[in-house]
Amino acid sequence: MNVLITGAGRGIGLALTRAFLNEGHPVLAVSRNIEELIKIGNTNLTAYSFDLLNNDFTPLIKKVNKTFGNLDILINNAGIVVVKPLLDFSDEDFDRLFNVNVKAAYKMVKGCVPLMKQGSHIVNISSIGGFQGSVKFPGLALYSASKGAIAVLTESMAVELADEKISVNALALGAVQTEMLSTAFPEYKAPLQPHEMASFIKDFALTGHKVYNGKILPVSLSTP
């Protein structure tokens, strides 16, 4: 399976890249910083530096086409978090959060779908914070809203791509001990490590579309 992962330079994305490579899958790993990816040293890995805040995704899509020709799995994993009280958010904060967490995923799908065949799988990484009815936390209003947006976008994408027989699902992840989590909440210790969550996502990306499509699936040890 040819696999494209965004936000692959650290945390879950980096662990996910390793998980696919360990099973022999060719991976195009996209991140602004590819230093850790280069260290992997696997011939099946193509590391590509790209900022998802760029307006022009043409170079990235050309890289996908040049690397694979066709794409089987797209994992929109890239995301950012800004922790602030609701009334302290700036317009710039809003735009950055939604441009990376929502718009970039849309642009990846728009660019990559022409390279995907029947039976391909798109996995959007959402958050339990964006899952309707889950516990919400102060400081995460816009982050949660952006992750809720990607969930609804996933449902719509699945309908739009039904004729092409390309499946689209979202995983609403609970807390994982990543650098991003530690920066946002230094005192909090998550119950899962990146490689543990990555193993689940990898398996789901490979087989989950056989039984799910257009679904938002909570992946969390806590309820709600």
Kindly list the catalytic residues.
Answer: 143
Q: Is cis: bond before 224, omega within 30 of 0?
A: yes
User: Contact, 70 vs 115, CB < 8 A?
Assistant: yes
Nearest CA-CA partner of 77 in 46, 47, 108: 108
**Reduced to 3 states, what is the DSSP secondary structure of residue 120?**
strand
Count Cβ atoms below 10 Å from residue 218 Cβ, excluding itself: 18
CA distance 155 to 170: 8
User: Contact, 172 vs 220, CB < 8 A?
Assistant: yes
Q: What one-letter code names the amino acid at 5?
A: I
Nearest CA-CA partner of 180 in 168, 194, 166, 170: 194
Q: Which residues contact 182 (CB under 8 A, 6 or more apart)?
A: none
Q: Which residues pair with residue 167 across a beta bridge?
A: 121
CA distance 13 to 3: 12
